[in-house]
């Protein structure tokens, strides 16, 4: 239930149901440092992806990292623009973070959509999170996060580190 409410509190109300996700047996180490907030983190088929926020002496910064614990690539600290957007759907919604750098867009998304309208009253929500990469508007890649994972987009953290932007359709 926490994940549903973390996504879009205004859209997902009493009609939501609880979905049982069991935690992974072994949780891999985070790409975020201990002094940072985990704004988002997941594992795709071949790497980890993380948004890590840091607040020190009134200054706030955010980093987009991907890789594994052996090789971490950090993007977005210099000459990048971070923004977030949200959109409500019937029975769900989507939150996303956009990292724009030159002609590239990294779109980190977390969404829930209703997949059923049965007589039993259950809406059968489907959760999808991932990172899509665009170059000059064309989709280059779309890496879906493995489910379940522990760190969906934290909406209360987004406003601390970036401004609100326009919604981008996910692939």
Domain annotation covers residue 30: no
Domain annotation covers residue 109: yes
- Please give the average pLDDT of every successive group of 10 residues along the chain, which has 171 residues: 35 29 53 89 88 84 82 67 90 91 92 83 85 95 83 86 91 87
The reported pLDDT for the residue numbered 148 is: 63
Total number of domains constituting the chain: 1
| pTM, full prediction | 0.75
Q: At 21, list the tokens.
A: 């996700």
The reported pLDDT for the residue numbered 77 is: 57
Structural domain containing residue 131: 2-14+35-164
- Give yes or no for a contact between 83 and 116, defined as CB atoms under 8 angstroms apart: no
């Amino acid at each position: 239930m926490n994940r549903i409410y973390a996504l879009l509190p205004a859209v997902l109300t009493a009609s939501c149901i609880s979905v049982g996700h069991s935690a992974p047996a072994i949780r891999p180490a985070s790409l975020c440092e201990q002094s940072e907030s985990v704004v988002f983190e997941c594992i795709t088929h071949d790497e980890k992806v993380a948004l890590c926020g840091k607040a020190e002496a009134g200054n706030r910064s955010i980093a987009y990292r991907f890789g594994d614990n052996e090789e971490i690539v950090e993007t977005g600290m210099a000459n990048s623009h971070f923004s977030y957007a949200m959109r409500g759907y019937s029975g769900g919604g989507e939150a996303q973070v956009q990292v724009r750098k030159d002609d590239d867009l990294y779109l980190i998304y977390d969404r829930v959509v209703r997949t059923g309208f049965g007589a039993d009253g259950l809406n059968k929500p489907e959760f999808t999170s991932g990172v899509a990469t665009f170059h000059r508007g064309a989709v280059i890649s779309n890496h879906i996060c493995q489910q379940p994972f522990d760190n969906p987009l934290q909406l209360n953290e987004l406003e601390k580190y970036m401004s609100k932007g326009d919604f981008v359709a996910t692939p």
